[in-house]
Amino acid sequence: MSEHKVVFVGPSGAGKSTAIKTISEARSSFDERSLGLLNSQHNVLFGDSVDYELINMRDGQSMHLLGTQGSQNSETIQVLLRRGVAAVVILISNAVHNPLAMLREQLLQIGDLAKSTRIVVGISHMDVKADPGATVFSRELHKFQVFECLDQNIPLLVVDPRDRQDMGLLLETALYISREDEQQVLA
């Protein structure tokens, strides 16, 4: 039985808890699609500091979704990230002051883990505030990739954490990237 762990990180208000809740509640919708989700269990770890969902999949695999609270220090995040993570989803709200700085902060908190773990970035609240646009975020990601000497592109999606289709695409992107890496390791 294979297990996948996807960790959602980002500042407070970006939609991490909402994203995990949407994925959990939409499992019947995903069940008809490629993810094959069966059921989920919700728990809170580390007191109130980490959201957790365990989702069992049709093919016998399980997926662990963990969402850190925005106020957490980087030490707690690093503990979670070092425990066999398939992918990290960074959620950033575009509606806050200086979302690009928040993206840089999250990328720096992940640090060297970005070289060994796949990352997907989701920008939320673009309907509330359109600037900076997705192109500006993409340029910022490119700068980080060059600076950190990453041999991978970090996918960027504009998402609404309440939208089942958006969260399905975000999760599929994270899992696809993760599976692609596993296949390269096995080859």
The answer on pLDDT for 181 being more than 60 is no
The answer on pLDDT for 7 being more than 90 is no
Q: Express the helix, strand and coil content of the chain in percent, nearest 5 each.
A: 40, 25, 35
Written as one string, the DSSP assignment of 81-134 is HTTT-SEEEEEEETTSS-HHHHHHHHHHHHGGGGGTSEEEEEEE-TTT---S-H
Asked if 54 contacts 142 with a C-beta cutoff of 8 angstroms, the reply is no
Domain CATH for 45: 3.40.50.300
**Range 93-113 average pLDDT:** 87
Range in 8-22, 67-81, 140-154 the model is least confident about: 67-81
User: Could you tell me the pLDDT band of residue 86, with boundaries at 50, 70 and 90?
Assistant: confident
H/E element, 21: helix 16-25
The answer on pLDDT for 93 being more than 90 is yes
Cβ neighbors of 46 (< 8 A, separation 6 or more) are 76
What's the pLDDT score for residue 33? 44
CA 38/CA 59 separation, integer angstroms: 9
Between residues 114 and 178, the one the model is more confident about: 114
CA 70/CA 11 separation, integer angstroms: 4
Tokens of 165: 């289709």
Count the domains in the chain: 1
The answer on pLDDT for 42 being more than 80 is no
The tens digit of pLDDT for each residue in 119-170 reads 899 999 998 988 898 999 998 888 887 666 666 778 899 999 999 999 989 9
User: Could you tell me the pLDDT band of residue 32, with boundaries at 50, 70 and 90?
Assistant: very low
What's the pLDDT score for residue 66? 81
Task: Find where tokens 């340029």 sit.
Answer: 139
Domain around 115 = 3-186
